[in-house]
């Protein structure tokens, strides 16, 4: 496929999706753009507006990430009790109120509390949204997860650019704008979302153990009605081959990815280069995500026909990227090559994880998505701490060495996971339990 054919190919892809799914994608893009306006500015806000040190700013980011981990776990569990509509729209509504409150306060203790609550509610929404997409548009979910990933990352690129411009005018304005887009998204979801039976006829039954269909909340075979979901956490957690190695692999994958911000950024500054060259790396990341779809599509058809192999290939790209910059990082162009390879790995992994759980675990997908998302956020949380200390003590070589080891660990975990999850089993149709039932 030539580069000139990419826009036509993307238009064809959008036309093949349901109209209501397109509305959902557009709203999700707007929300991602709004949130990206704020994300890069937390450290500067704490230092310049709240008058705190950069060390205290780093702790705020750590607290927010920790609360996001807890939110991922909570989101995967509360989905069953509250239902997707109240769960997702409610979490975004609370997030918007937190953002408005941050814009209007100068109290340091209150700011910390609001940032932690914001991280928690953002964490809650992630597994819930992924599960909802997989349940509602089941026949399109593979393409939808991929398109959602592209749209959201494109929104992040635009939002990060706009955020810098708005911050030069007013930091409070950035929080007000983000709060407004988040509130609009919450209102859209409240009126747009609808709960219905979860079709999962051909998905895997790995989420159920010992054939205990009544405890798993499966529909009776006579078709007289659909049973509500009874979440037996200990039963689901015992099925470690379904989630454990994937989750640990995600942890190591994202741990290795954080070296871009904690290792490469100070290295570029240390080399006497303008920090705009660091921003340019993320421009490369966004362009590869936007225009690299034909390449990743070909890779999937040729080398990764199954979801578990797709995760394995993603880790191979990550290992290639960080091994390359471990040995070749003297020139800036080598960092660009490493970013291209790492981005291809990211593009292969992110849509694959929610697809795997949607197809293999049926109605229990939110639980497992929250579990895996929590592990991934642990990697994002400890990575900056580990690489920051490594850079201070031993320099950039140690950062790239540890990042390569982490990517190799992710490859091993995904390899084990792929060998344990080769054949899917069917999952009968079930119904979500909500507070109204």
pLDDT of amino acid 11: 59
* Report field, pTM of the whole predicted structure over 0.75: yes
pLDDT of amino acid 190: 85
Domain boundaries, the chain: 13-196, 200-437
DSSP annotation string for 124-191:
HHHHHHHHHHHHHTGGGHHHHHHHHHHHHHHHHHHHHHHHHHHHHH-HHHHHHHHHHHHHHHHHHHHH
pLDDT of amino acid 164: 62
228 by DSSP, 3-state: which? strand
How far apart are the C-alpha atoms of 254 and 384, rounded to whole Å?
11
pLDDT of amino acid 309: 92
Q: Do domains 13-196 and 200-437 have the same CATH topology?
A: yes
Task: Identify the CATH homologous superfamily for domain 13-196.
Answer: MFS general substrate transporter like domains (1.20.1250.20)
Whether the CB-CB separation of 178 and 37 falls below 8 Å is answered with: yes
Taken in order 373, 377, 380, 382, is the CA torsion positive or negative? negative
pLDDT of amino acid 182: 87
pLDDT of amino acid 220: 34
102 by DSSP, 3-state: which? helix
pLDDT of amino acid 88: 83
pLDDT of amino acid 417: 95
Domain 200-437 fold is: Growth Hormone; Chain: A; (1.20.1250)
pLDDT digits (tens), the chain, 437 positions: 444 555 555 556 566 677 778 877 877 777 777 666 665 567 667 877 888 876 677 788 788 888 888 988 888 878 778 877 888 889 889 989 998 998 888 899 999 999 899 889 888 887 888 888 888 888 888 888 888 888 877 777 677 666 666 666 777 888 888 888 889 888 988 888 765 534 443 444 444 433 333 333 333 333 333 345 555 778 888 889 899 999 999 999 999 998 887 788 888 878 888 767 877 887 888 889 888 888 998 999 999 888 999 999 999 999 999 999 999 998 999 999 999 999 999 999 989 999 999 888 888 888 899 899 889 989 888 888 888 888 888 989 999 999 999 999 999 999 999 999 876 554 444 444 433 33
């Amino acid at each position: 496929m030539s580069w000139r054919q990419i826009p036509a190919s993307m238009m064809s892809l959008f036309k093949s999706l349901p109209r209501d799914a397109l509305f959902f994608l557009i709203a999700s893009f707007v929300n991602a753009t709004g949130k990206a306006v704020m994300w890069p500015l937390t450290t500067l806000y704490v230092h310049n507006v709240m008058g705190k040190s950069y060390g205290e700013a780093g702790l705020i980011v750590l607290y927010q990430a920790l609360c996001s981990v807890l939110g991922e776990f909570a989101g995967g569990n509360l989905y069953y009790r509250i239902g997707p509509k109240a769960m997702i729209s409610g979490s975004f509504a609370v997030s918007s109120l937190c953002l408005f409150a941050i814009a209007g306060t100068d109290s340091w203790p209150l700011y910390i509390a609001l940032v932690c609550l914001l991280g928690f509610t953002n964490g809650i929404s992630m597994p819930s949204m992924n599960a909802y997409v997989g349940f509602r548009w089941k026949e399109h979910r593979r393409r939808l997860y991929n398109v959602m990933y592209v749209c959201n990352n494109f929104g992040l690129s635009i939002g990060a650019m706009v955020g810098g411009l708005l911050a030069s005018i007013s930091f409070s304005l950035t929080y007000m704008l983000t709060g407004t887009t988040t509130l609009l998204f919450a209102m859209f979801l409240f009126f747009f979302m609808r709960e219905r039976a979860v079709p999962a006829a051909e998905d895997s039954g790995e989420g159920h153990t010992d054939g205990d269909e009544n405890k798993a909340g499966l529909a009776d075979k006579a078709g007289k009605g659909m049973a509500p979901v009874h979440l037996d956490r200990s039963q689901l957690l015992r099925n470690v081959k379904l989630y454990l190695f994937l989750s640990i692999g995600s942890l190591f994958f994202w741990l290795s990815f954080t070296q871009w911000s904690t290792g490469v950024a100070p290295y570029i500054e240390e080399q006497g280069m303008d920090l705009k060259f660091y921003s340019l790396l993320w421009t490369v990341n966004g362009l590869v995500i936007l225009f690299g779809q034909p390449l990743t599509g070909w890779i999937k058809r040729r080398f990764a026909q199954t979801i578990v192999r797709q995760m394995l290939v993603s880790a191979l790209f990550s290992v290639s990227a960080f091994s390359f910059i471990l040995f070749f990082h003297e020139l800036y162009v080598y960092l660009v090559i490493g970013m291209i390879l790492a981005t291809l790995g990211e593009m292969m992994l992110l849509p694959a994880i929610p697809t795997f759980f949607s197809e293999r675990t049926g109605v229990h997908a939110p639980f497992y998505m929250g579990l895996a998302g929590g592990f991934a956020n642990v990697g994002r949380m400890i990575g900056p701490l580990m690489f920051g200390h490594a850079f201070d003590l031993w320099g950039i070589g140690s950062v790239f060495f540890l990042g390569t080891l982490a990517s190799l660990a992710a490859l091993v975990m995904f390899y084990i996971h792929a060998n344990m999850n080769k054949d899917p089993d069917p999952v009968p149709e079930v119904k979500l339990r909500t507070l109204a039932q």
